[in-house]
Amino acid sequence: MSATNELAAAGQSIWVDNITREMLDDGVIQNFVDEFSVTGLTSNPSIFDKAISKSSSYDAQIKELAGQGIVQEEAFFRLAIDDLRRAADIFKPIHDATGGLDGWVSLEVSPVLADDAVNTIKAAVTLHKQAERENLFIKIPGTPAGLVAIEETIASGVPVNVTLLFSAEQYLAAADAYTKGLERRLAAGQDLNIVSVASLFISRWDVAVAKTVPATMKDKLGLAVGQDSYCAYRNFIASERVQNLIAQGAPIQRLLFASTGTKDPDASDTLYVQGLAAPDTVNTMPDSTLKAFHDHGTFSGVLDANGEDSVEVFAGITDAGVDLDALADQLQQEGKASFVSAWDELLESIESKAK
């Protein structure tokens, strides 16, 4: 049995964090499903920027859309939705077989709306309706404005992938927003089967402190944040508040480990896969990381949910002068800015190809 098969058998869903039209045309994504135990897919502005700017596969459609007066943002969503519909159809049998737990793809609202709750809500509803696929998440960042939008979007019945979370505290805020949305639906007598995941970014922690912490602490912070958040997740879903909703038919908002490609060339290329194996969660990984884990990764058991290891790491990092709470906020702001930058470059690429 391959390492990916073992990981899936342990109860963690494996999703791939990439999509290109070539991956769809060449059967790569279908092969990931068939051979690598992949059960879902995520995307973001950076992924689509690379896919569209570095490929000619989108050129003809961009020119056709431009001829209809459809450019930039509207053109992008037409391109992305076409790809994600195809991906959603690949994963639809998994979605059906798991009762909606798995088999999801994700489309992000414009990152320039990260601080605009009202327009995020409008965009989420519009994009989900436009996509016409029940197994498509709308990604909304877990910023203060995003939390408002998440509650309202869940209350309106749109499935959400909460993105740009960097700590247990940020995860809990997102979980609270999701739960409030479900509680509103319960009070209104509406269906509670509105699925969501909460995406915790891992590798950027270790990049951020690489030049600050001692060698003994190198590449340990991301895993510690993952364990700490997993502990918070297990406690939250075991709470009376959540269990009451589950008893009424609500699903669990699963914790999703994102940004799990190793950035340190001296570290294992499967560091954040092997170290974050945990049942009832998702790990969405770049296709290069997925292939590495399938090829030479090792499944060595599941993550301990007691959080003791993370406490020790946090103490060592704090002793090195790092303010973890401040860094979590900084990483969220930097992530938001990074997605806006990729978004701007993406729209420029589409405009250039249209001309």
DSSP calls for 218-238 = TT-HHHHHHHHHHHHHHHHHT
Distance CA 327, CA 199 (A): 17
Q: Would you say 108 and 127 are in contact if contact means Cβ atoms under 8 Å apart?
A: no
Residue 280, classified by CB atoms within 10 Å of its CB into exposed (0-12), middle (13-18) or buried (19+), is middle
What average pLDDT does this structure show over 346-352? 94
pLDDT digits (tens, 9 = 90+) for 208-222: 999 999 999 999 999
Active-site residues: which are they? 139
Distance CA 45, CA 23 (A): 17
What average pLDDT does this structure show over 93-99? 98
Predicted pLDDT of residue 21: 97
Q: How many CA atoms lie within 13 A of 55 on its CB side?
A: 19
Distance CA 250, CA 182 (A): 8
Predicted pLDDT of residue 194: 98
pLDDT digits (tens, 9 = 90+) for 278-323: 999 999 999 999 999 999 999 999 998 887 789 999 999 999 999 9
Tokens of 204: 């950027």
pLDDT digits (tens, 9 = 90+) for 237-278: 999 999 999 999 999 999 999 999 999 999 999 999 999 999
Confidence of residue 1 (pLDDT cuts 50, 70, 90): confident
In the chain, what are the helix, strand and coil shares in percent, each to the nearest 5? Answer: 60, 10, 30
pTM of structure: 0.97
Question: For the chain, what percent of residues have pLDDT higher than 70?
Answer: 100
Distance CA 292, CA 19 (A): 18
CA 51 to chain centre: 18
Select the CATH number that applies to the domain covering 3-354 from these four: 3.40.50.300, 3.20.20.70, 3.90.15.10, 3.40.50.150: 3.20.20.70
What average pLDDT does this structure show over 58-81? 96
Average pLDDT, the chain: 97
- What is the side-by-side strand order in the sheet with 12-16? 38-41, 12-16, 281-285, 254-258, 196-201, 160-165, 136-141, 105-108
Residue 344, classified by CB atoms within 10 Å of its CB into exposed (0-12), middle (13-18) or buried (19+), is middle
Residue extents of the structural domains in the chain: 3-354
Distance CA 3, CA 76 (A): 36
Amino acid at 194: I
- Secondary structure of residue 200 in the 3-state scheme: strand
| Cα–Cα nearest to 163, from 129, 180, 189, 140 | 140
Confidence of residue 10 (pLDDT cuts 50, 70, 90): very high
Predicted pLDDT of residue 309: 86
Predicted pLDDT of residue 307: 74
Predicted pLDDT of residue 308: 79
pLDDT digits (tens, 9 = 90+) for 133-173: 999 999 999 999 999 999 999 999 999 999 999 999 999 99
Distance CA 115, CA 235 (A): 29
| Residues β-bridged to residue 40 | 15
User: Strand (E) positions, the chain?
Assistant: 12-16, 38-41, 105-108, 136-141, 160-165, 196-201, 254-258, 281-285
Distance CA 122, CA 130 (A): 12
Statement: residue 179 has pLDDT above 80: yes
